[in-house]
Amino acid sequence: MYVFDAPEQPSLAVQGSTDRFPIRRIFCVGRNYEAHAREMGKDPTREAPFFFTKPADAALDTPCTIPYPKLTEDLHHEIELVIAIHKGGSNIAESDVMDHVWGAAVGLDMTRRDLQGEAKKMGRPWDWGKAFDHSAPIGAIKPIAEVPSVENGRIWLAVNGVTRQDADIADLIWSVREHISILSHSMELAPGDIIMTGTPAGVGAVVTGDVITGGVDGIGTLEVTIGPRA
């Protein structure tokens, strides 16, 4: 018995099924493409992978319309390969990582860039820039047995039909196997964990009325419309 009705379990659609994937946590890998790291003013050759989080209920199915969020004048898109975990574990060897993966999808790490920039300058956490409502639209998850590769494949994003981000997941600085293994040495992964693997170069601002489309070849696509201010 709870003191009020428990919130609905956050979940994501599954390709070709009415079943849904329940979300426990959302981990995000920062600056995991060399060109993006450089466009953000960092040297990727000197930096180990680092992680930040979003709340599970920041995720939502696509296609969708999300409100332009509060407190920002600089909302940015970041297209990402998304990995869904179904088997928990700690200290997972790179060679065993794929045994823990249920599926893959494409998602957006929406970012209040001005708030993130302020936090960076003051040495504060990124939460206000990254972990806000509706900040993780994610396409339907494709079961891993049907995914051709999580090691190579075009990843792209367009705004109103104009391509802005265009790369290959082979360009990841830390591969899916590497960064999931590293994450599992920091904390125990659990069924329902979602890992957003980083964005390539070309991030930029969107405004109310913009339509974002994107995808990862062989995995899936998404469409997100930016609605009026929240």
Spatial contact of 33 and 201, defined as CB atoms under 8 Å apart: yes
Spatial contact of 119 and 125, defined as CB atoms under 8 Å apart: yes
Least confident of 44-48, 144-148, 207-211: 44-48
- For the chain, the three-class secondary structure string (H helix, E strand, C coil) is CCCCCCCCCCEEEECCCCCEEECCCEEEEECCEHHHHHHCCCCHHHCCCEEEEECHHHEEECCEEEEECCCCCCEEECEEEEEEECCCECCCCHHHHHHHEEEEEEEECCEEHHHHHHHHHCCCCCHHHHCCCCCEEECCEEEHHHCCCCCCCEEEEEECCEEEEEEEHHHECCCHHHHHHHHHCCCCECCCCEEECCCCCCCEECCCCCEEEEEECCCEEEEEEEEEEC
Choose between 90 and 38: higher pLDDT.
Answer: 90
Q: Which of 2, 21, 102 is nearest to 59 (CA)?
A: 21
User: Per the omega criterion (within 30 degrees of 0), is the bond before 137 cis?
Assistant: no
Task: Look up the pTM and report it.
Answer: 0.94
- Cα–Cα distance between 170 and 155 in angstroms, integer? 10
- Cα–Cα distance between 90 and 88 in angstroms, integer? 7
Q: Give the other-Cβ count within 10 Å of 191's Cβ.
A: 14
Angstrom CA distances, 136 to 20, 89, 98, 181, stand at 16, 24, 23, 23
Residue 41: band (very low, low, confident or very high) from pLDDT cuts 50, 70, 90: low
- For residue 46, is pLDDT > 60? no
Length of the chain in terms of residues written = 230
Residues 192-215: tens digit of each pLDDT: 999 999 999 999 999 999 999 999
Two tokens, residue 8: 């609905």
Q: State the Rg of the chain over Cα.
A: 17
Residues 61-83: tens digit of each pLDDT: 999 999 999 999 999 999 999 99
Longest dimension (CA), the chain: 52
